[in-house]
Amino acid sequence: MTALALPALAPLALAHLVMGLVLAGWTLLFLFRIVLTWYPQVDLSKGLMRLVGIPTEPFLAPTRRLIQPIGGVDVTPVVWVGLISLLRELLVGQQGVLTLALLRSQAVG
């Protein structure tokens, strides 16, 4: 009996992949949050909207204490999209720390 052999990912390659996916997912959640601010009647504590509200609110609530709404518009999701995008670029972007470490390990190994 033969087993289907999947290529084994090195721990660094796996960390790079997972970190990229997690940060992309967080970015999407905050982008959904930005769009949902246009619809104030949407309740983020009910139905499928909980999938957007529950993971993002712990980050947004403290940020709202630091950054007040501008003209009645909550800008904290935009701040978080910027922060996560910066973190993603620093870690897994073209010149990111994990990307460069992965390229170096592939060149050596």
Q: What is the pLDDT of residues 55-100, one digit of tens each?
A: 999 999 999 999 998 888 889 999 999 999 999 999 999 999 999 9
Count up the domains in the chain and report the number.
1
pTM over 0.75: yes
- Are 104 and 35 within 8 A, CB to CB? no
Question: Residue 6: what pLDDT?
Answer: 46
Residue 2 confidence (pLDDT) above 60 = no
Kindly state whether residue 89 falls inside one of the protein's structural domains: yes
pLDDT digits 0-9 by tens, 30-40: 999 999 888 88
Kindly state whether residue 22 falls inside one of the protein's structural domains: no
Tokens of 43: 């309740």
Burial 75-92 (b: 16+ CB within 10 A, else e): bbbbbbbeebbebbeebb
Kindly state whether residue 23 falls inside one of the protein's structural domains: no
Contacts of 77 (CB under 8 A, 6+ apart): 30, 31, 33, 34, 37, 56, 60
Q: In 3-state terms, what secondary structure has residue 69?
A: coil
> Could you tell me the pLDDT band of residue 109, with boundaries at 50, 70 and 90?
low
Kindly state whether residue 17 falls inside one of the protein's structural domains: no
Kindly state whether residue 11 falls inside one of the protein's structural domains: no
Residue 44 confidence (pLDDT) above 70 = yes
Task: Give the domain extent around 54.
Answer: 32-108
- Are 20 and 92 within 8 A, CB to CB? yes
Q: What is the number of other CB atoms lying within 10 angstroms of the CB of residue 52?
A: 19
Which of 109 and 95 is assigned the larger pLDDT?
95
